[in-house]
């Protein structure tokens, strides 16, 4: 969007802009409420408000009432092309409508200025038709589209040229990359290893220092993908974000997830074995929903048991919240206090598990990508390949990969010491 505006000579304004764009989220009821507030705020500040994003799919009437120009996700033309069209209409400029269709995810037009961020997201996939009973996404992004390997590599090269050192693959359902459905039983070529091929191709880009996959389901972590991770381990990090959502098979079934707990644990065991056999310490993170309708104390205990068994580096804990328009919204809800209690229990466990994972790093040599420097304390911060946030003293600058040894892990911080580079002077 920024590049569309830049191409038309528009610049960011700090006060009283002529145009404000509110890119909304609607994945939870709370996100939708925040989106509504953001549109109202923009309307008060700006002269003309564009509303884009998922809220326009779930609450189109409200979006139309609150904003001036609405650009929904759905439509024949890719969203960004329709955005460009609306910008031209607003600027009263002639517009030529491109002829690309929605069958593949188009390459993103990137800003022309170098970036200040070390990390960039590369959206490789969009859409989901898995219909988990708590999720609204299949109603607003039903069409599955993937970026071709060629386009994804071209976009990744541009991101590296813009100064990004790390790329994260993102998507609504990354495991469906290259497939026409997120439901494995409906995939025409379920055994094709599109994601592994993409990982291989992007890893070869000169100047890319780190590559991460954001989130996958158990069935997506295939032996071929693990092989591609190991083969490209100088770039691809051994971090897997694998949403569990619940440790109870009864709840997983009610959620309409595509796996049960034994399949989940089996996949973790395979990933652990493959990565550790190559000297890597797998870092596993997850999402858990607390208080899904019908979740009993016993179900919740099973979630705790699985979390302990896996030993997550981090759990993203979500209290279940009703999303109007989903199946689970029509079921009897658990009391808020029960949900909050379970969230607190899981957050406490998250701290304990994270600490015990980070303690395993003590004594290990790691690579830290510097993201921030605090001049007051002289300490830099960044993430290591195992996803843990590391603090260290270094003269390295933002975007540098520093070799360091972890010296201490406490509940607050993981400290590392830079490994000194010894230079040999040839006589």
Binding residues for ligand SF4, per CB under 6 A? 128, 130-132, 135, 137-138, 172-173, 182
The least CB distance from residue 323 to ligand SF4, in Å, is: 10
Give the tokens for residue 163: 């100064």
Query: 138 or 178: whose CB is closer to ligand SF4?
Result: 138
Nearest to 59 by CA among 21, 24, 86: 24
The least CB distance from residue 272 to ligand SF4, in Å, is: 24
Query: 87 or 182: whose CB is closer to ligand SF4?
Result: 182
Distances (CA, A) of 60 to 10, 54, 66, 83, 86: 28, 9, 10, 16, 17
The least CB distance from residue 184 to ligand SF4, in Å, is: 11
Give the tokens for residue 225: 């993908």
The least CB distance from residue 343 to ligand SF4, in Å, is: 19
Query: 238 or 319: whose CB is closer to ligand SF4?
Result: 319
Say how far apart CA 140 and CA 136 lie, in whole Å: 7
**In terms of C-beta density within 10 A (0-12 exposed, 13-18 middle, 19 or more buried), how is residue 323 classed?**
buried
Query: 118 or 261: whose CB is closer to ligand SF4?
Result: 261
Query: 172 or 195: whose CB is closer to ligand SF4?
Result: 172
The least CB distance from residue 352 to ligand SF4, in Å, is: 27
The least CB distance from residue 131 to ligand SF4, in Å, is: 6
Q: Please, are residues 153 and 199 in contact by the beta-carbon 8 Å criterion?
A: no
Query: 175 or 382: whose CB is closer to ligand SF4?
Result: 175
The least CB distance from residue 289 to ligand SF4, in Å, is: 10
Say how far apart CA 131 and CA 254 lie, in whole Å: 11
Distances (CA, A) of 32 to 29, 56, 62, 185: 5, 10, 11, 32
Query: 137 or 361: whose CB is closer to ligand SF4?
Result: 137
Query: 173 or 300: whose CB is closer to ligand SF4?
Result: 173
The least CB distance from residue 181 to ligand SF4, in Å, is: 11
Query: 28 or 35: whose CB is closer to ligand SF4?
Result: 28
The least CB distance from residue 133 to ligand SF4, in Å, is: 9
The least CB distance from residue 400 to ligand SF4, in Å, is: 35
Query: 124 or 128: whose CB is closer to ligand SF4?
Result: 128
CB-based contacts of 427, cutoff 8 Å, min separation 6: none
Query: 118 or 245: whose CB is closer to ligand SF4?
Result: 245
């Amino acid at each position: 969007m920024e590049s569309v505006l830049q191409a038309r000579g528009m610049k960011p304004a700090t006060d009283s802009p002529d145009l404000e764009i509110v890119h909304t989220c609607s994945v939870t009821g709370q996100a939708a409420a925040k989106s509504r507030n953001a549109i109202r705020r923009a309307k008060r500040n700006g002269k003309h408000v564009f509303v884009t994003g998922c809220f326009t799919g779930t609450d189109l009437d409200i979006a139309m009432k609150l904003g001036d120009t609405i650009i929904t996700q759905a439509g024949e033309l890719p969203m960004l092309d329709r955005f460009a069209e609306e910008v031209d209409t607003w600027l009263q400029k002639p517009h030529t409508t491109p002829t690309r269709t929605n069958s593949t995810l188009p390459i993103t037009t990137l800003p022309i200025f170098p970036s200040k961020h070390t990390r960039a997201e590369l959206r490789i996939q969009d859409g989901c038709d898995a219909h988990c009973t708590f999720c609204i996404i299949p109603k607003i992004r039903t069409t599955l589209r993937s970026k071709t390997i060629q386009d994804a590599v071209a976009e990744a090269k541009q991101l590296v040229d813009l100064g990004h050192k790390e790329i994260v693959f993102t998507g609504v359902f990354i495991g469906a990359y290259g497939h026409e459905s997120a439901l494995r039983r409906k995939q025409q070529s379920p055994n094709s290893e599109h994601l592994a091929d993409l990982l291989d191709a992007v890893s070869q880009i000169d100047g890319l220092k780190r590559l991460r996959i954001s989130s996958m389901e158990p069935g997506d972590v295939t032996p071929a993908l693990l092989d591609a991770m190991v083969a490209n381990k100088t770039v691809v990090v051994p971090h897997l974000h694998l949403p569990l959502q619940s440790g109870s098979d009864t709840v997983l079934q009610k959620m309409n997830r595509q796996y049960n707990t034994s399949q989940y644990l089996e996949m973790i065991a395979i990933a652990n074995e493959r990565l550790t056999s190559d000297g890597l310490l797998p870092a596993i993170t997850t999402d858990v929903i607390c208080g899904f309708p019908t979740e009993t104390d016993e179900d919740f205990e099973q979630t705790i048991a699985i979390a302990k068994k896996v030993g997550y580096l981090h759990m993203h804990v979500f209290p279940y919240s009703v999303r109007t328009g989903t199946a689970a919204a029509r079921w009897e809800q658990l009391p808020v206090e029960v949900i909050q209690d379970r969230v607190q229990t899981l957050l406490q466990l998250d701290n304990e598990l994270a600490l015990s994972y980070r303690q395993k790093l003590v004594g290990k040599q790691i690579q830290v990508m510097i993201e921030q420097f605090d001049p007051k304390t002289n300490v830099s911060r960044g993430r290591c390949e195992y996803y843990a946030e590391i603090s260290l003293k270094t003269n390295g600058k933002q975007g540098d990969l520093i070799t360091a040894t972890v010296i201490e892990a406490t509940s607050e911080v993981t400290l590392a010491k830079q490994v000194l580079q010894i230079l040999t002077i040839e006589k």
